[in-house]
Amino acid sequence: MFDDQQQEVDALMGQNGEFRSLFMKHRELDKQVRDAELGVLPVDDLTLVKLKKQKLMAKDKLTHLWNARHSAA
């Protein structure tokens, strides 16, 4: 997420604690989902669905914060 805008992401992470926290949470959830899908992290289907929903909610909030910053500029 936001891979091609790393400098802007870094700047926003430095300015906005909520964005930084959500970004790190999304990254951790992404790793957990990936590990679960590869079988490295043993989780049941319900847990995997919950992880994916949490990841999506974090992404939605990040996108909202990102868009709010860019619409204000």
Quick: pLDDT tens for 18-41.
999 999 999 999 999 999 999 999
Per domain, the residue ranges of the chain are 19-72
Cα dihedral value 43, 44, 46, 49, nearest 10:
50
**CA angle, residues 57, 59, 61, in degrees to nearest 5:** 70
Quick: pLDDT tens for 57-73.
999 999 999 999 888 65
Q: Which residues of 39-70 are buried (b: 16+ CB within 10 A; e: fewer)?
A: eeeebeeeeeeebbebbeebbebbeebbeeee
Q: How many Å apart are CA 37 and CA 45, to the nearest integer?
A: 10
